Chains A and B, each alone.
Chain A
Amino acid sequence: MNLWVLIGVLAPWLAGMAIVRTRRAGLAGLLLTLGGGWLVGQILLFLLLFAMLRLTGASLAGLVSGLSLLIAVAVTILRRDKSASNPNRAMSTFAGTGRTGGVVVVLAALFAISLGAKLLGIVPGLSTVTIRDDDATTFWLFKAKVIAESDHLSFDKDDPYYLGGANPQYPVYLPLCAAYLPLMKGGWSETLATFPWFGFFVATPLTILGALRLRLGAWPPALIAAYFVMSLPLASVHAYRPGYADMPMAAFLAAAVCFMLMAQMSERRIHNIVVALVLLIGAGVMKREGHVLAAVVAAVMLAPEVLSAFRRSATEAWRLVAALAIAIVVVFALVDNDDVVSDVSQLGWHGEAITSLANHAFGWASFNLAFWLAPAAIIVVALSPKAVMRWRALALTGALLAVDVCVFTLTKEYVFALNDQTPSRLFLQILPTIIVALAVPVTTALDRRESSTNASPDAGATS
């Protein structure tokens, strides 16, 4: 591998890891740092690249790498005394029962074998097969190729390659991530341009695994949730045939919830919430509909944090409000909202899309059994008054599903349900987040029930 490319891979990742690093949290903290660091690094990367292209007219990719490394060093130095918090406040008794050692080994093996087998299919494909899917060549990687080959991003609306060309309504930030390694190499390479998708595919389950292990205090539920997310069949296809924005957006949304879960238990609440907001910025600017889903996650997950912060400390609460306001301003400064406004301004009932949605969710194989298990999980949570984060998880699940259903039953996008083009891709955007959100109340609900059967002490979790 070209040295510049290696630096290009490592620099934003190191910066991201420095930002999200969770010390004294063992293997789970390491996984969270590796996975979350990749995701935050990608956001840092496209923000720096965009700023550089905007300010200087050229990407100066090497300088972006240097700045990333500088950020990594600076954050590490600044946080060296502040990151000694211990986030291991367990909520589950699974880890303490002493009966789960074998289960953990089996689940870890299942996770590792499944991931390894998928990578055996994905990696040769990424390195051998040229880009071949419609939206990838028409929009996302088209823009990336234009930016990488010209080392320029046009902000002139009359330029045929305005914002990378193709449809300017498609945000340019994912293409910037894709263009970065080819820019570091000094020429277009589809293998390098699609490398971020490989990163998103691996980083997402690692982030979920680390965060849920720390939040729940037990490996089995964290491994199951991470395994479910990693083995969603459509996610593998998006890693194998890269160039679509759905999987990266799903990664940012799910990771944002992971860091909000971390914020619930860590002494570094504000820090984790800010990281979550950064990830929501990433999700919000990734696709035209991204900010709608990011707003739903922020509203459901963050509003209670802000309210509880006001009860504790006004300073902390105002900091949170300021961070949220900055995130909103950044997203609206970076995205073109016209398509969403156009959709919302032409509402009408299109019930014929429901059959297609049901088919995508329950009949076809894009999501394994996720949609069959979700109702069971929702019932378990709804019937368990002491389940941790019960209402927030139910509200988040309901709101995300409602957004997707409304997109296809109330807007002109229903035609894409009838021709089967987009329902599964929109479901892919939200399913990892739903799995993460439901994992916490389901685990605590079942755990309490199991604990009461075994007459073990209560976990002492808070709701």
Chain B
Amino acid sequence: MMAVGGLLILAGCLFPLLVLMDTGAAWTWDTKTLSDLEGAKINATPKGNTSEGVRLARQGARPVSLISPPLNLAPDVSHIAEVSVALPDAEAPTRQTVYFLWQVRALDADGTPTDAQAYKFDSTQAILGKDPAIVRFPVTVPPDSIHRIGFQFPEADGDVVIRRMAFPSLTMTERLAMAADQWAGREPFEPYSVNFLRGPSILGESAISVLALLIVVAAGFVLLMAGLRRRRLSIVAVIGIIVVVWAIEDARATRNLFENSREEVEQFSKLDQRVDRWARSHRSYEVAWAADLLVENTDPGMRYCVVTNSGDAFMIRHRLAYLVAPKLVETEDCASADLIVVIKSDGARYSPDDQILTLPDDTMIDARPVAQLADHCYILRRNAK
């Protein structure tokens, strides 16, 4: 019994120690000039070089993101990814969400890496401002399996300057501090959080598996003590350990829930207008604006169609349908709709002089303007024939 207990303690302690000691090799990609971005995927408009790095401007409503060229990392590369980023237009440093994206290597028939795999992502919150900040993420897959990495800044309104992306080789002290930060850090509630909670990742290892290991170590200790005292293993003690470790994680998760709730409630309680609340909860001011207008100014039973070809078309159509139902009825056939809502459609063109809306498939509809939010967002009413 003592031997088993000792072995459990040894195995349980050895694993975290090895993770802590495994500083890994460093890899860096400097993005100081436009030429450094060759092979990268840039969801932004490069505006030129600064002393800190390339300045990237937002393309319309799309968040700025930069994805590395294909990588060929060694297996011993560090399990931590970082980005050095600044927001030159920021008036003051603010807490913002940052996404870390990665794509696992997929090979085509010739064995050449392809971009076939979907991107996985993780998010965190960091204080970003004019001065460069370093944002770090744990890497939960073997680095040598990664094809590309990238970072996205969904809440950055102005330009973004990215100086470098790296897998840094940190000292043990730095890694210990980072482990503590990762445990204590908040996991922001994202739209997908209702599907799963990722939880903290301690230096690339799942915190839940670390806690499971903690149970093994504690049980080993109890076993050892029982052996030393020549008594049988106390089941109550083992159950006590399990409950305590569960409660530790429960406390973290509950704090995470509470902090997310506090922030979200604060944000919403400041929003007096219905349209602003809808815009925040449905992640689109255009949808909120159109819904507010349709609910207030239309007759029950009218049919409307949505013209959009943005990447968020599904979200735009369904959120609008929820907000205006059951007063209005959505139809896919714009030629028979009473109202036409155009939100972010590259192909749709409206001529106010002729009162003709030309749809992306070149269908022409005789319609008069009702309201316009911006060039890409307006509502028309079909003219009776």
Contacts and interface: CB of A to CB of B under 8 A. Distances in A.
Q: How large is the interface on B (under 10, 10 to 19, 20 to 34, 35 or more residues)?
A: 35 or more
Contacts, number: 182
Given A160-B330, A231-B250, A240-B261, A420 B281 contact: no
Given A227-B246, A360-B196, 13 more contacts: A114-B247, A118-B257, A121-B258, A124-B261, A145-B326, A146-B325, A231-B254, A237-B257, A240-B260, A362-B206, A362-B209, A365-B208, A450-B236
B193 A165 contact: no
Interface of B: 118, 140, 187, 189, 191-200, 206-209, 211-212, 215, 232, 235-236, 239, 242-243, 245-247, 249-250, 253-254, 256-258, 260-262, 264-265, 268-269, 277-278, 280-283, 315, 318-319, 321-322, 325-327, 329-331
16 contacts: A114-B250, A120-B261, A121-B261, A124-B261, A128-B269, A129-B265, A130-B280, A132-B191, A133-B194, A137-B319, A237-B194, A362-B208, A369-B211, A423-B196, A424-B197, A425-B195
Contacts of B327: 149
Contact of B322 (A145, A150, A366, A418): A145
Interface in A84-116: 103, 107, 110, 114
A422 B187 CA distance: 19
A129 B192 CA distance: 17
B325 A114 contact: no
Nearest to A446: B235
Q: Which of A141, A150, A161, A368 has the most CB of B within 10 A?
A: A368
A130 B268 contact: yes
Contacts of A360: 196
Contacts of B208: 362-365, 368-369, 372
B209 A363 contact: yes
A141 B318 CA distance: 12
A285 B119 CA distance: 35
Contacts of B278: 130
A21 interface: no
A231 to B, nearest CB: 4
Contact of A142 (B232, B268, B282, B321): B321
Nearest to A165: B325
Contacts of B215: 369, 372
Contact of A372 (B196, B212, B236): B212
Contacts of B236: 103, 450
A114 B326 CA distance: 40
B268 A138 contact: no
Contact of B206 (A132, A241, A363, A424): A363
B208 to A, nearest CB: 6
Contact of A450 (B206, B235, B256, B330): B235
A364 B205 CA distance: 10
Given A137-B282, A231-B250, A419 B118 contact: yes
A128 B246 contact: no
A289 B309 CA distance: 33
Given A122-B261, A142-B322, A365-B207, A373 B242 contact: yes
Contacts of A319: none
B195 A421 contact: yes
Contacts of A133: 191, 194
B246 A114 contact: no
A156 interface: no
User: Lowest 5 A-B CB distances belong to which pairs?
Assistant: A365-B199, A121-B261, A132-B281, A424-B196, A233-B253
A67 interface: no
A117 B261 contact: no
Nearest to A143: B325
A149 B193 contact: no
Interface string A124-168: 110011111111011001100110011000000000110001100
Contacts of B232: 453
Contacts of A114: 247, 250, 254
Contact of B246 (A121, A131, A166, A369): A369
Contacts of A82: none
B198 to A, nearest CB: 5
B367 to A, nearest CB: 22
Contacts of B207: 365
Nearest to A372: B212
A234 interface: yes
